Structure formats: C-alpha cells, structure tokens
Amino acid sequence: MTSARFTGTVGRFRGSPRLHGIAAFILLLPPVFFLFPVPIDETRYLAVAWNMHLSGQWLVPWLDGAPYSDKAPLLFWLINLVWAVTGVHAWAARLLEWLIALATLPLLASLGRRLGTGRGATEAAQWLWLGCAAMAVYAGTVMFDMLLAVCTLAAWRATPALAGPHAWRGGLAMTLALAFGILAKGPVALLLGGMPALLAPWWLPHARHAGFYLRLLGVLLGAILLALAWAIPAAQAGGPAYADAIFLRQTAGRLVHSFAHARPWWWYLPILPLMLLPWTLCLGRNTPATLPPPRAPAELNRFVAVAFVPGFVIFSLISGKQPHYLLPMLPALALIGGVHLAAGRWRVSAWRAGAVLIIIGLATALGLGRLAAPASGMGAYVCGALVVFTGLLCMSRHARPLPVATIALGMLAALTLCKLAFVLSIGPRYDVGAAAQRIAAAQRAGVPLLYVGAEYGLFTFAGRLTAPIPSMPNRSGVAAWARAHPTGWVISSDDDQPAPPPIYRQRYLDRSLGIWRAADIAAAKGARH
C-alpha cells in the first residue's frame, strides 16, 4: 500500500504511514479534554494526587486524612510533576496518561526488532495494539495499568540483552524497569516483567547457562532494593497499619480472598476477546494454501507464550479481577499477530470490522440513549449513528482487503465517539463537579460537613478540598450529629436518605446524591417524636 501511487488529499493520506500515526494520536486526544474524572477510581486517584500536591509530602500517599495503601506512589509522583508545569487540572493528568500510552508504541517496536521481526511485522503489531479496544478505552484514563505496561515492555525489551555481550546494560535497564513497575503497581510487576526472563532458556538460546540466572538474580535483588528504598521509609512514616498494608495485605490479601473485585476463575475468558476487539472478529486466515509460512523466529513464538500464558493463568487463579489488569500482557499478542499479517497468513476482513463497528454504534445509541434523560439522549443517538456510518464505510470496502491501520483508525474514532456519547448522555450522573463546588464553598465558610457512607475522596479533587469530610458508615447516628451541628450539612448518596427536602440533589450513578441542612434533619426527626 505504501508503494502505490495516490493522488489528491485522500490519496496522500492513504499512502502516508506518518499521517496515519498523526491521525491516531489526534483521535486519542479529545477525551483528554472533554472527559471529566469518573467515579470512583479516577476521582479517588486524583484526590490522592491532590492531597500530595497540597501537603508537599510525597513519601506516603494520603486520602481522607489517612495513608492510602491501595496503590504505589509512582503515578501520583508523575501527576504532581506534570502539575508543577501545567497547574492542577484533570486534563493534565489525562495528558500524562495519553503520553504514557503512546510510549508503549516505540517500546513494542524495539522489542519486536530485538526478537527478530521485520519492519512490516513491527508496524502491523503497533497498529494491532493501537487499534484494540483495550488501548482505545484506557489511553488517557487515570489508572495505573498503562504505566505498568510501559515498565513491562521495557523489562521484556531488556531480557535478550541480559544474555548478550553487553549484559550489564540489559541488567541495568531491566532493574530500573522492574523497580519502576513495583513503584507503579506493586510486586505484580515482577510477575509480568520477569516471567519471560525466568523461562528464558526455553525461548532464548543464549540464556542456557548459569551465568544468565546469576545476572537475573542480581536484577531482581536490585529492583527489590530500589523499591524498598521507598517502601521502608514510607512504612515508618505511615505507621504500623500502613506498613502491614503495603507489605502484606495488598499482595496476599488479593490472592485468595480478595477484599475487592472478587470474581470466579473463568471470568477473564470472555473478557479477553472483548478487550481485543475488533481483531478477535475481523482477523482471518488468507485462503491460498501456497503462501509461505510466517518468517517468525521460533524464539518469538515461545516468547509470546511465556509473556502471556503464565500471567493469564495466574491472574485467572487470583481472586481479585478487573479487565485492565490484563492490559500489560496484551502487547505480546499484538507482536505475534503482526508477524502473521506481514507474512500474509492473516488478513483483515473489512466486512467483519464494519460489523463490529456497527454493533458498537447501535449499542451506544440504544444503550446510552435509553439510559439518558430525554433532553440529553440525542447526543448518544448522534454519536452512535456516526459509529454506524463508520462501520458501513468499512463494509463498503469488502471487495478489497483494508490495511490494518485503516481499521485501527476506525476503532479509535468509534471509541472516542462512544466516550463523547457517554459525556453527552449519562455523563451528568457521574460528574460531581457541581456538588463538589458547593461543598468546597461550605468548607471554606466553616460549615460542619458529614458524609453518610464511604466517600473515597469523591469531592476532594473536583472541589479542591483542603480537609477531609468526616464520614459515618450509616444513618444511625445522623440525627444526633445534626442536633450537635445545627449549622452543618449532611451529604449522602445512599438509597436510604434523610426525609426532609434537600438543598441540592442530582442523579449519581444509579441513585441520587443529596445535600441536607442538619437543622432540617433534626427538625424532621423531632417532629416524628
């Protein structure tokens, strides 16, 4: 395709891989600016980063006045470094995540070259990774898994060098990659980034000697020591409960009886094909039997097996599961897919890709349109119709195979439109900005505040709160608190809410969020008695 002659603006675009890349980056960029922090994960992580910014204390992350042990600090550090340049904005944190997602592309290409793939296979692998649903959904999302994917790819890339003549360079690179991975998301980085090295003699001929494992042992010890350089002082500063959490509970607690996201062992089996859309449905074998076999070194096939299969099996056996936990392993699948595409053994089916986009568009229009209020459902219908139109364009090209870049760009456009449809339709149910501004103004005015339930920093970043909101697990003590704080406000998103009319109410997730005057609650309670 790149060697064919094209004319006109469309032709120049079709014949330019550089323009394809620019278009992909542009399609990934708009949600950085139009998507607000989504509860409860993004609002919580930004609240921790805001508390770090506010206090100037970077050793121990804090949330709601207590050390936050659920996640390691690297992403919070990076967000604060970006905020030092841009100021405190949600879009700045999303832009950081966008850049982190883009950093996976050159790392994937470099890994492919080190494993012996050709340029065509490497470029195809990049487009497979860039155009899959997982990348399009999570690029720009304030979470930890894309950062872990960068660290994992860097560790994989350094593994062959660990067995070569410049082993010290590979060892240093792998040590840093694994250490940063631990600081990004904990000891799971050793599993994801280190498993190919642990099984290297099976796929890397030069690693079949004792010296390789001595170097690997040094790498693992070095990475652990670098991580402990943060963890030990943090444990001392955070106290015994925080130390127990970061050294034991956050690792061992999730393995068998997860305190969050506990799901059955088979849960990832249907999730994985969805994360790899549209490729799981639109990639097919070429029919001619005379095609040569793919020119993939045997070590590449084995590398992909050891990089993906053990991690997938272990993650399936671990109690806690979320779709994005698989994210760092998916580039390995893109590599092997790129080899088959470049060798001509696989092809992209335009009509299947179009069908995937049409289904996504219909699901967006009908699903979000039905959930939205009548006045805001039109945005979902329009965005869904545009996705359907994109799918029809792909299907109209069924007579000739489409380049993988074209399908990837269509998928990126479709999921960007889906995010816009979410904001325009049911976004107000997830945006707590207006409530947070009211709460922040009350806090500045010295109004006593109480949140009924677990708040998880829901309003902290959006309101730029300077102090945590006291909370109460249920309504049993609300009346007594209201009598003791007659000028206060009670905030609740529970289904069981106070009886008097609130001074503020909005839809929140599948329920409602309200703010009540404490005096009204006390008066209503007194009237019943």
Q: Please tell me whether residues 358 and 504 are part of one structural domain.
A: no
Domain final residue pick, 429, 458, 485: 429
Identify whether 41 is part of a domain: no
Q: 408 is in which domain, residue-wise?
A: 349-429
- Name the residue with higher pLDDT: 363 or 248: 363
Identify whether 223 is part of a domain: yes
Task: Sheet containing 489-492: give its strands across.
Answer: 471-472, 449-452, 489-492, 511-517, 504-508
Identify whether 474 is part of a domain: yes
CB hemisphere CA count around 261 (13 angstroms): 14
d(C-alpha 203, C-alpha 76), whole Å: 36
pLDDT of 398 over the 70 cut: no
Q: 105, 129 in Cβ contact below 8 A?
A: yes
Q: Please tell me whether residues 450 and 417 are part of one structural domain.
A: no
Question: Which tokens belong to 524?
Answer: 């209503």
Q: Please tell me whether residues 370 and 330 are part of one structural domain.
A: no
Residue 5: exposed, middle, or buried by beta-carbon count in 10 A (0-12, 13-18, 19+)?
Answer: exposed
Q: Please tell me whether residues 294 and 400 are part of one structural domain.
A: no
Q: Please tell me whether residues 417 and 443 are part of one structural domain.
A: no
The total of structural domains in the chain comes to 3
Identify whether 189 is part of a domain: yes
Reported as a single tens digit per residue, the pLDDT across 290-322 is 455 545 566 788 999 999 999 999 999 988 889
- Name the residue with higher pLDDT: 12 or 201: 201
Question: Which tokens belong to 68?
Answer: 């936050």
> Would you give the distance in Å from CA 394 to the centre of its chain?
28
Q: Please tell me whether residues 307 and 325 are part of one structural domain.
A: yes
The amino acid present at 231, given as its one-letter code, is A
User: What local confidence, expressed as pLDDT, does residue 400 receive?
Assistant: 65
Identify whether 64 is part of a domain: no
pLDDT of 528 over the 60 cut: no
What are the residues whose beta carbons fall under 8 Å from the beta carbon of 469, sequence distance 6 or more?
Answer: 64, 439, 443, 449, 450, 451, 455, 459, 491
Domain final residue pick, 401, 429, 457: 429
Q: How many residues does the chain have?
A: 529
Phi, psi of 378, rounded to the nearest 5 degrees: -60, -35
Identify whether 193 is part of a domain: yes
- Mean residue pLDDT of the chain comes to 88
Reported as type and span, the H/E element at residue 263 is none
User: What local confidence, expressed as pLDDT, does residue 291 receive?
Assistant: 52
Question: Which tokens belong to 417?
Answer: 């439109």
Identify whether 281 is part of a domain: yes
Q: Please tell me whether residues 520 and 396 are part of one structural domain.
A: no
Cα separation values, 267 from 191, 238, 320, Å: 20, 35, 10
Q: Are strands 449-452 and 62-63 parallel, antiparallel or unpaired?
A: unpaired
**3-class secondary structure, 154:** helix
Reported as a single tens digit per residue, the pLDDT across 485-520 is 999 999 998 766 667 889 999 999 888 899 999 998
Domain final residue pick, 347, 376, 401: 347
Q: 151, 188 in Cβ contact below 8 A?
A: no
Q: Please tell me whether residues 342 and 224 are part of one structural domain.
A: yes
The mean pLDDT value for 337-342 works out to: 91
Reported as a single tens digit per residue, the pLDDT across 50-68 is 999 999 999 999 998 899 9
Q: Please tell me whether residues 190 and 301 are part of one structural domain.
A: yes
Q: Please tell me whether residues 404 and 449 are part of one structural domain.
A: no
Identify whether 268 is part of a domain: yes
Q: Give alpha helix (H) positions in 16-144.
A: 17-28, 30-34, 41-55, 74-86, 90-114, 119-130, 133-138
* CA-closest candidate to residue 422, choices 31, 45, 98: 31
* CA-closest candidate to residue 385, choices 393, 396, 374, 397: 393
Q: Please tell me whether residues 167 and 291 are part of one structural domain.
A: yes
Torsion over CA: 53, 254, 107, 350 (sign): negative
Percent of the chain with pLDDT over 70: 90
Q: Please tell me whether residues 170 and 195 are part of one structural domain.
A: yes
